[in-house]
Structure 1
């Protein structure tokens, strides 16, 4: 996670081709040597978004760097846990305005993301874009049902989780703690949802990922996002699912004692 402690300082940009005010997809180069383009969000950003330059782009376009410029949200830096900002991993704008989430929350819900494993930061950055794209995509799960009720799933306004953790231990800002998630029906208004990238049905997350998960739980209590009396669940505790994976789930009771099920979980029956 080298580089988190040094915040990039942008002071000027040089135009390489055309005029930002009038041309779409114009390439630009900040004076520190990092280049990028103004582009519509229909095109996935290769690197990071830099809000500092958005006002130089045409309407409905954002400035996207060619390589990732990693910056921390700073909210957990004092706990030794830098969290990669949404713009840094290239998050698209939410499709709609998200609902606010209260502080002093009672629940911390743990998930896994089957099909999105990664073991290095470069791959994990790409996985973040893929998960958000998947969550925002409009699609239907025909023929599937929960509790006998047919499900028609049309996607989310944004990535569903507040935080995501890669196999290398990197913590990514999803929606962040200020906004309600879309990860656990019945609990979205009163919980923080954290997802570990990968499938942990038969294997365990890396030690780095497990440590970051534990440290994130500690940090969110220290900044009053989570109540000191919060209860920790696996997703399967409150919804009919195998998430966060059988082998991983077996370890959570020990890892999160005394928070584990300190409040009895209630299965969603929607």
Structure 2
């Protein structure tokens, strides 16, 4: 290829990096002349910068920018099948709000969310367990006023506490499974003790119902009339019902254990107390064969009582 300048032809090229394409004529495709430059034996010659762009291209008009205007054009030579995406918008892939967060912040955010979810799960679990514990252990002492018992007909003897003995009885009545049923039985028992046996009050310190509730009798501070010879140093607890052939239900047994535990905590019962059935002291069927068999498995049950009768 050879180049020669033709000075008498004016040049139309300006300093704007304009791209000028020169092609040969049909007669001699290899001899070209453009803008004062003679080109021999060549074809597809370009004057100026030749730039190729692939992908999205934004061209800003500097003249309009200088005048305070803004205009954005998309190069029409770009591939029409290629999607042009603004730098300010994340690709439509996954969650956009996470993609705009730096990687290390995304990891920290994920860990934080995981810890929050775990905390909520643990909190809900603890609340459920706490609620379940409440339902399963509904220990409560129903006062004499609540079960509509009568006050003592005379002043009873104060009980010296803490006592060394806990003595278990049964009432030898029908069993009960609701507060109303148990209260009805207790009112009948109190009337029998006061009217038929001439006692000042119901004979037991506490009674335990098949509903899992404890019922107040003479209480922690008054001497009972349940086991002759040891009333002055014992707390008498009666299971409402008859338990010769069948043992009391689980909630009734648990209520009795909880009552003894409370008595120890309140210092009404000695920590090293001894547990007995009423039949170990005198000729009675109480607390019934089945219940007696049960209390023999309890920790503080004593086989031979060391009793001084008065």
| 1:268 shift after superposition | 8.8
Q: Which moved more, 1:81-90 or 1:219-228?
A: 81-90
Match of 1:129 in 2: 187
User: What residue in structure 2 maps to residue 261 of structure 1?
Assistant: 302
**Map 1:184-223 → 2, pairs under 5 A:** 184-223=227-266
The question of whether the paired residues in 1 share the 8 Å contact of 2:158 and 2:222 is answered with yes
Aligned CA distance change for structure 1 residues 120 and 268 (closer, same or farther; 3 Å): farther
Could you say which residue in structure 1 is the equivalent of 2:277? 234
In the TM superposition, what are the counterparts of 1:42-61 in structure 2 within 5 Å? none
Partner of residue 165 from structure 1, selected from 198, 201, 208 = 208
Q: Find the aligned partners of 1:203 and 1:189 in 2 and give their Cα distance.
A: 31
SS at match of 1:189: helix
1:87 aligns with 2:130: no
Matches of 2:231 and 2:157, distance apart in 1: 10
Name stretches of at least 5 consecutive residues in structure 2 with no aligned partner.
Answer: 1-136
Structure index of larger Rg? 2
> Counterpart of 1:229 in 2: which secondary structure?
strand
1:106 aligns with 2:146: no
Aligned partners of 2:200, 2:306: CA distance in 1, in Å? 26
TM-score (norm 2): 0.54
Local SS of the residue matching 2:295: helix
RMSD of aligned residue pairs (Cα, Å): 1.9
Contact 1:106–1:226 (CA under 8 A) maintained in structure 2: yes
C-alpha separation in 1, matches of 2:199 and 2:217: 13
CA deviation after TM superposition for structure 1 residue 155, in Å: 2.6
Number of equivalences = 174
Structure 1 segments (4+ residues) deviating >3 Å:
266-270
Q: Is the CA contact 2:139–2:212 (under 8 Å) kept in the aligned structure 1?
A: no
Contact 1:96–1:157 at 8 Å: present in 2 too? yes
Counterparts of 1:11-160 in structure 2, within 5 Å, are: 81-138=139-196, 154-160=197-203
The answer to whether the Cα contact below 8 Å between 2:230 and 2:307 also exists between their aligned partners in 1 is no
Q: 1:224 aligns with which of 264, 267, 273?
A: 267
Larger RCO (CA under 8 A, 6+ residues apart): 1
Whether the aligned pair in 2 keeps the contact of 1:239 and 1:267 (CA below 8 Å) is: no
Deviations 1:168-188 (A, max 9, x none): 111000000110000000110
1:238–1:268: 8 Å Cα contact kept in structure 2?
no
Equivalent-residue separation in structure 1 for 2:241 and 2:138 (angstroms):
24
Within the alignment, does 1:247 sit opposite 2:290 as a pair? yes
TM-score (norm 1): 0.61
For residues 228-266 of structure 1, give each alpha carbon's deviation from its aligned partner in whole angstroms, at most 9, with x where no partner exists: 010000001111111100011011121x21x1117x315
